[in-house]
Structure 1
Amino acid sequence: MLGLRGSVVAAAAPARGRGAGAGGGRGGGAAAPARGRASSSSSSSANGRREVPMRPNGDGAGSRSRQADGGGAAVAARAPQGPRPGGDRPRQAGQPGQQGEQQQQRGGAARRDEERDYSDRSDDGAAGGVPTATFVPRDPRVVDGPWSRLDASLVTAAQADARLAAEGTAPLKGPEQGAVLLGQSAEALRQLAASLGHKPYRGQQVWDELLRGARNPQLRGARSVEEMSLVPQALRDQLSALGVRTGRSVVHHSVTSPCGTTKLLLQLEEGRLIEAVGIPTADKDGPGRLTVCVSSQVGCPMRCTFCATGRGGWARNLRPYEILDQVLAVQEAYGRRVTNVVFMGMGEPLLNLPAVAAAYHLLRDCLDLSGRAITISTVGVPNAIRKLAAMRLPVTLAVSIHAPNQQLRERLIPSAKVYSVGALMQDCAAYFKMTKRRVSFEYTLLAGVNDKPEHARELAALLRSYDLASHVNLIPWNPVDESEYTRPSNTAVAAFRKELEAANITTSLRVTRGLEAAAACGQLRNSFQKQALPEPQPLR
């Protein structure tokens, strides 16, 4: 529920005593709880019992919370039910059409070792058994504030739209009108082919044609059913008659800067535009890394004052297959394998958490990316960081903090009025305790606003006051048209970093890439989409 100046706005509101995490439950959870109540899913209830976040179920959304008695410190997480989003890995020996077997296995052993090390460790460090979801209470004095009417409208719409997360990843049960193929498992496509009267291996060929570029970056995956040359014409005709789509988008425009950074403007099926960025990193011993910055929403409802995406409005959440498609598009553009994926493009990933979690599994299954190669960024959504921790995804969490105190953060990020710095930091500490994974803090430097040495000292003091392993990533601001902000000088950036390092805060400086390619998030889209997307009307 959203506390709204005495009234309550529900977005798939949970029953009393249930967890209220953003993006959670089947169909997206509610946002901040009503004013005066503790906002965490693990906060104390009126009857003295406390709620403990549980492991997500198989559809990628967080499962409902379970209540624990006051004396217990941990509750065993429930094992996932049903197939994992993206389906089982198609690695059955002897099946025709599995040309990519060897490439899929590459890196698989290291990934399995990582997952075993992660999932077999309980919160107290013990090995063997299902990980536990440790109860980490918030300070009862820290509560979430009320949303403004416009922000409540936007966030409510985004979380309600999270119900679409299952589309494209729910296993097909047979011929379905207008089904999306990308994101389906090879087994689901084999069953689809059999239900249409063909040998099951024909479905494997459909899967191979879709992910041709994933297995061999020199090739391009099929963007339409008719492009699947390995698939018999009879099966293609049947799929076309059903209105089946591949789920691949069209590259509307691309810009490449001299440093090699490429920004793709992708046109979705309904005509809306999203951005995906490829960032190559040179390596003297080889081609180096290729990082893809993906979008999680069409636009963004958070309206951060320094961000170009928020200026273009918000339309909807992206489906899991639309996130996978961005990575495939960048890999095909470069003709080399993607090594890292960061959810730092358009949108707030934790407002679309079910789809982001499902996309994580697709990236693992289709591209063999490990959890350590995937970063999920957030500006902060009430309850969502704890819900992400309960999902036990071995990813890197990056928190866009951008200010060391509440007053300045509210100026830069409107949602900070609801989700205070104190609540955000306590949830980050809980994430570290529950996952044992370091939290990265993103800090965009704005000239004369938050880039002074005293801001750096205040940020260092803030991070040291919480029990968590952290890292600060400094980001000099990328200019945005018609913005009140300016880019800081190199001298100011160096002085800020020096203050943090003097306080023993691990710090890195993001090298600015692609300024010629409209690098600011959302800027390229806005240059083509001259009119902002319509926003939901403020609640009355």
Structure 2
Amino acid sequence: MDLRNLTIDEIKSYLETIGEKPFRAKQIFKWVHRSIENIDEMTDLSKDLREKLKNDVYICNMNIVGMEESKVDGTRKYLMAMKDGNIIECVFMRYKHGNSICISTQAGCRMGCTFCASTIGGKNRDLTSGEMIGQILKVQKDTGESISNIVLMGTGEPFDNYENVMKFLKLVNSKEGLNIGMRHITISTCGLVPEIRRLADENNQVTLAISLHSPNDELRRNIMPIAKKYSLDELLDACRYYINKTNRRITFEYSLIDGVNDHLENARELSALLKGLLCHVNLIPINLVKERDYKKSQKERVEAFKNMLESRGIEVTVRRELGSDIEAACGQLRRQYLKELD
């Protein structure tokens, strides 16, 4: 049983089963949400209690098996090996407003988006909430810097692992743990409609990001298999429900692919689709994926696309390209590592 996967109340219940006082639960929780890697590091617990713990529980740790650091902006891309040998990625990014981390929620992904390297090879398994926490703690320990913002936009579809992601939010928000506020957390989904509605009903304050990448169903179905299950009408109905329930602005991610979805007509369609929604569009010049034929849109086309949206009243930014000199796009470094193992 992984201690990092347990709430304080769950640790209390466990302690009662081994005849220990429940007040120890807070102590243990605080320890496992620091960057310790074994139970013996809990120095304010008695040796007898530590020995009892070692009989039943462990602390989820992962080993850094690869790391690339950008010489341009200090972005770090990590490859981590899990206890069972699965490989995941996370990215550490420095901003003026604080450090951010993009974490993985699954080992692999089954969503099949054609512009994404993470989905090549499919999904191996879901990550636990403790394994999500573990990525943050490992990076904080490696960098010696604290992290104040979290993006669930690494390998995997967070809403395909909904229960573990919701538990992760509770753990990471705990005052006795990392104490990262919900407003400092972004969850990205390719568009799982029922889970968008579920998140709205959770009534927390996270930021929701929707991977849109197309202004119409036909084009979206060609690049995102999830669009064959949920139409844009269904997706936008769920988005309106979310906005009405939470009064939170949605971010629509739009990866610009040269000659595919970056025409001015696409921008006109997109502005019409999103008109009246409490939203923001984040344009992303796509990263090259070696196994795909897609290319990044030229800067002039990106600017023209942005200007078209702005002229029609849509709030829009172009994502700052971090880690441009390393394989910082989701799934690329992991994919290269796995190919070298084959």
Report what 1:266 is aligned to: 80
TM-score in terms of structure 1 length: 0.60
Find out whether 1:383 has 2:205 as its counterpart: no
Paired residues of 1:298 and 1:317 also in contact (CA < 8 A): yes
Find out whether 1:392 has 2:228 as its counterpart: no
Name the CA distance, whole Å, in 2 between partners of 1:348 and 1:207.
27
Report what 1:336 is aligned to: 145
Report what 2:94 is aligned to: 280
Give the total of aligned pairs: 339
Pairwise CA distance, 1:299 = 0.8
Structure 2 unmatched ranges of 5 or more: none
Find out whether 1:249 has 2:62 as its counterpart: yes
Name the CA distance, whole Å, in 2 between partners of 1:517 and 1:275.
13
Report what 1:472 is aligned to: 281
- The correspondence of residues 170-249 of structure 1 with structure 2, limited to 5 A, is 179-186=1-8, 188-189=10-11, 192-193=14-15, 195-197=17-19, 202-212=24-34, 221-242=35-56, 244-249=57-62
Name the CA distance, whole Å, in 1 between partners of 2:173 and 2:54.
29
Amino acid at match of 2:32: L
Report what 2:335 is aligned to: 526
Pairwise CA distance, 1:468 = 2.3
Pairwise CA distance, 1:194 = 5.8
Find out whether 1:321 has 2:130 as its counterpart: yes
Name the CA distance, whole Å, in 1 between partners of 2:145 and 2:49.
31
Name the CA distance, whole Å, in 2 between partners of 1:456 and 1:202.
57
- The correspondence of residues 87-126 of structure 1 with structure 2, limited to 5 A, is none
C-alpha distance after superposition, 1:228-283 (max 9, x if no partner): 344333222222233x211222222222112111112121111101111111113x
Pairwise CA distance, 1:531 = 8.4
- After superposition, the CA RMSD in angstroms is 2.1
Report what 1:445 is aligned to: 256
Pairwise CA distance, 1:487 = 1.1
Name the CA distance, whole Å, in 2 between partners of 1:208 and 1:435.
31
Name the CA distance, whole Å, in 2 between partners of 1:532 and 1:401.
33
Pairwise CA distance, 1:532 = 10
Paired residues of 1:251 and 1:266 also in contact (CA < 8 A): yes
Report what 2:229 is aligned to: 418
Report what 2:212 is aligned to: 401
Amino acid at match of 1:341: I
Amino acid at match of 1:446: I
Pairwise CA distance, 1:380 = 0.8
Report what 1:110 is aligned to: none
Name the CA distance, whole Å, in 2 between partners of 1:253 and 1:430.
41
Paired residues of 2:252 and 2:280 also in contact (CA < 8 A): yes
Pairwise CA distance, 1:444 = 0.3
Identity %: 38
Amino acid at match of 2:254: Y
Name the CA distance, whole Å, in 1 between partners of 2:193 and 2:26.
42
Structure 1 unmatched ranges of 5 or more: 1-178, 213-220, 283-287, 534-540
Paired residues of 2:33 and 2:178 also in contact (CA < 8 A): no
TM-score in terms of structure 2 length: 0.93
Name the CA distance, whole Å, in 1 between partners of 2:26 and 2:211.
41
Residue aligned with 1:461, SS: helix
